[in-house]
Amino acid sequence: MDDTTLSPDRAAATGASRLDQLRDMTVVVADTGDLAAVAKLKPIDCTTNPSIVLKALQSDEFAGHFDRVMKDNAGKSAQEIADALTVEVGAELVKLVPGRVSTEVDARLSFDTAASIEKAKALIAAYDARGISRDRILIKLASTWEGIRAAEVLERDGIKCNLTLIFSLAQAVACADAGAFLISPFVGRITDWYKKSTGQTYGPEEDPGVLSVRKIYDYYKSNGIETVVMGASFRTADQIAALAGCDRLTIAPALLTELAEDTRPLERVLSSDSATGLERIPMGETDFRWMMNEDAMATEKLAEGIRGFHKDSETLLSIIEKRLG
């Protein structure tokens, strides 16, 4: 426990919320495009994905933004307008957080390294045209082999990346080898798969999603890997508490509010000092594809995540096309 972390006794004495206690040991990120929630909860960073962008753009809060972007991009294709709207959401979030905002590359490009690089650079250029520097943005890519290779190139070009939809140690190892700035290993979706597969329920200490992130964190700290571990996709506040001390945690507003209203002491669980010394794992393309093939959960959830994000992107395109129509 470092000197800035509230001890459980002190936390109880001061009445500090679990959210405040968590902030003393972990960088808290908001998993939302809800401007009001971000302004209220004051996270360091914000993460978005196509589902979040779609929801934001359908809200009353963004109605004026939607109309203005449509007008400013008259004559352009639906895809170009969709990209502009994605940057519009990101630009509004940049105004509210001191750190970075993650903006996702189209899910349909998840198996095309060259196209992912091209799209990422176009998004960075669009932010730059609005006076938003690349050091405020993370380019978000699905952790396919091709997405990881795109991140490797982008990182060398000074564009920081958030590798998302991580469900396995194989993905995490490959991302580290590529020099990714940050990874988003998912918790809740892993747990969902095991609940459905086994019919069991899991407490925080047996939760497969929690244990997956702990193992990735341990591997990184054991090997001096600088890539940031940001746990994501939480279903309960208990899952979050079970990862207290992780580099970063991206949390939806409802769970941030629940943590803010809970004053029970929160213990640090993860620390670089507690790394167990896991050995470095070789991870070439053949190794990666075989390990993913052997992991039914990771293979299924990665594919499902890509399909889900693509579906929401298609919904946004449909809305734009109707307006153009």
Residue 119 lies in a domain: yes
pTM to 2 decimal places: 0.93
Residue 90 lies in a domain: yes
Residue 11 lies in a domain: no
Cα–Cα distance, 248 to 95 (Å, whole number): 20
Residue by residue, pLDDT tens for the chain (325 residues) are 344 445 554 554 468 999 999 999 999 999 999 999 999 999 999 988 888 889 998 999 898 999 999 999 999 999 999 999 999 999 999 999 999 999 999 999 999 999 999 999 999 999 999 999 999 999 999 999 999 999 999 999 999 999 999 999 999 999 999 999 999 999 999 999 999 999 999 999 999 999 999 999 999 999 999 999 999 999 999 999 999 999 999 999 999 999 999 999 999 999 999 899 999 999 999 999 999 999 999 999 999 999 999 999 999 999 999 999 8
Contacts of 271 (CB under 8 A, 6+ apart): 1, 245
Predicted confidence at residue 3, as pLDDT, reads 40
Predicted confidence at residue 113, as pLDDT, reads 98
Cα–Cα distance, 297 to 194 (Å, whole number): 8
Tokens of 48: 């978005």
**If 0-12 CB within 10 Å is exposed, 13-18 middle and 19+ buried, where does residue 204 land?**
middle
Predicted confidence at residue 192, as pLDDT, reads 98
Tally helices (H) and strands (E) across the chain: 15, 8
In the DSSP assignment, the letter for residue 186 is B
Number of domains present in the structure of the chain: 1
Predicted confidence at residue 8, as pLDDT, reads 52
**Residue 247 CB neighbour total at 10 angstroms:** 20
Residue 166 lies in a domain: yes
Segments forming the whole domain that contains residue 218: 17-324
Residue 3 lies in a domain: no
Residue 296 lies in a domain: yes
Q: Which residues are catalytic?
A: 140
**Helix axes of 78-94 and 63-72: crossing angle, nearest 10 degrees:** 130
- Smallest CA-to-CA distance from 225 within 247, 204, 256, 200 is with 247
From start to end of the chain, where are the E strands?
A: 27-31, 45-47, 101-104, 137-142, 161-166, 182-185, 228-231, 248-251
Predicted confidence at residue 286, as pLDDT, reads 98
Cα–Cα distance, 169 to 245 (Å, whole number): 19
Residue 209 lies in a domain: yes
Tokens of 95: 């105004």
* CATH at residue 183: 3.20.20.70
Q: What are the CA-CA distances from residue 241 to residues 22, 23, 72, 140 (Å)?
A: 8, 12, 45, 25
Residue 4 lies in a domain: no
Predicted confidence at residue 11, as pLDDT, reads 52
From start to end of 117-247, where are the E strands?
A: 137-142, 161-166, 182-185, 228-231
Cα–Cα distance, 150 to 155 (Å, whole number): 9
